[in-house]
Amino acid sequence: MNIGQAAAASGVSAKMIRYYESIGLIPAADRTDAGYRTYASKDVHTLRFVRRARDLGFSVEEMAELVALWNDRDRASADVKAVALRHIADLDHKARELQAMSETLKHLAESCHGDDRPDCPIIDSLASAETFPAPKRAKTVAFFRRHPGSPIHPAQGRVR
Amino acid sequence: MNIGQAAAASGVSAKMIRYYESIGLIPAADRTDAGYRTYASKDVHTLRFVRRARDLGFSVEEMAELVALWNDRDRASADVKAVALRHIADLDHKARELQAMSETLKHLAESCHGDDRPDCPIIDSLASAETFPAPKRAKTVAFFRRHPGSPIHPAQGRVR
DNA sequence: GATGGGGCTTCCAATCATGGGAAGGTCAAG
DNA sequence: CTTGACCTTCCCATGATTGGAAGCCCCATC
């Protein structure tokens, strides 16, 4: 199986497969004499594992931990759980940050007439401050992920 | 006022002030003969506006829209509201994505013993698939932000 | 007046995960 | 043997932000 087929079979783009190999997340694939990477079902299995971890928002670093634990027969499920719980905390933390922003904006938007006149509490709030919710410059630890499969787009952003 | 003082007064780092100027989000500051940027209270006001918008998770592009609307006496509050509502939708969408991931993981973590034995439904789920929640490769539109002020860290990530 | 330290300047690099594209080699079908 | 689909590597861009280097500027103290 060439990389394209492995990509289709795993849901990880060929680009990302090469990238994951380059950073050591997955082992280097075997090569044909011509230099083409070849993949066996076992490799696709690993790629699927990675894709699913990615779909759950794990960072590459965390995925590396998970893959290592997966390959470790003597792992303690407590270790896996610890990685998961840490990530859950990150996800919840970020979700809360986003919700807080959303709610602040919703309150402001509610009292905005949304007509042809310029008066707008949203703009006023940005301009005035005071009532502004003190943003807790938390040490955001985790990161977001884009969407998995193929139709992806490079998303990004700060987490503030 | 030099850039350092403007930064302290606005909550936007000197680095970011220069960056915002370079991309045209804020107008180029006046300079002293020596080339130092100088800021008046009006400029700090603008910087504060930008910081607050950033704190609400607006992208630079959206902030540019907001600043333009702010400076437009003849704006229609409907335009401001539209920007806000669009952003609220983005925030809610992302928050939901994160929550979905979190909940999936929470379910798995609940049934994980978390002891010395290797058996772990979390790893099993990543390895097996099937029961895996089909990730909706949405066209995530918005982006996340890091934390504002100074003690920030370059966060990032995909949103998947 | 010289020296030192802190602030300022610009420019380049890194972050994180991903896609885009170029230049060139390979393979299988026609 | 040609064509087109696929593979290879390498570099670039994204978004917002920080870090750091090299060098200039300003003020205060000796």
Q: What would the pLDDT profile of B65-91 be if each residue is shown by its tens digit?
A: 999 999 999 999 999 999 999 999 999
Q: pLDDT at residue A130 above 50?
A: yes
Confidence grade of residue A128 (pLDDT, cut at 50, 70, 90):
confident
Minimum-distance CB partner of A75 among B81, B118, B129? B118
Q: pLDDT at residue B152 above 80?
A: no
Average pLDDT rounded to a whole number, residues B17-40: 97
> In the complex, which nucleotide's C1' lies nearest to the CA atom of residue A55?
C17
Average pLDDT rounded to a whole number, residues A16-27: 97
Phi first, then psi: give them for residue A64, nearest 5 degrees.
-60, -40
Q: Which helix (H) or strand (E) holds B129?
A: none
DSSP for B56-107, please give it: TT--HHHHHHHHHHHT-TT--HHHHHHHHHHHHHHHHHHHHHHHHHHHHHHH
Q: Do the Cβ atoms of B78 and A147 come within 8 Å?
A: no
Average pLDDT rounded to a whole number, residues B103-129: 94
Best A85, A123, A137 member to test B by mutation, with max B CBs in 10 Å, is A123
Determine the angle formed by the axes of helices A77-110 and A60-70, rounding to 10 degrees. 150
Q: Which residue of B has its CA nearest to A114?
A: B78
Strand D protein footprint, C-beta under 7 A: A 2-5, 14, 18, 35-37, 154, 156-158, 160; B 13, 15-16, 19, 32-36, 54, 59-61, 143, 145-146, 148-150, 152-154, 156
H helix intervals, A56-76: 60-70
Tokens of residue B117, six digits: 């034995």
Mind listing the domains of chain B with CATH numbers? 3-70 (1.10.1660.10)
Amino acid identity of residue A102, one-letter, is S
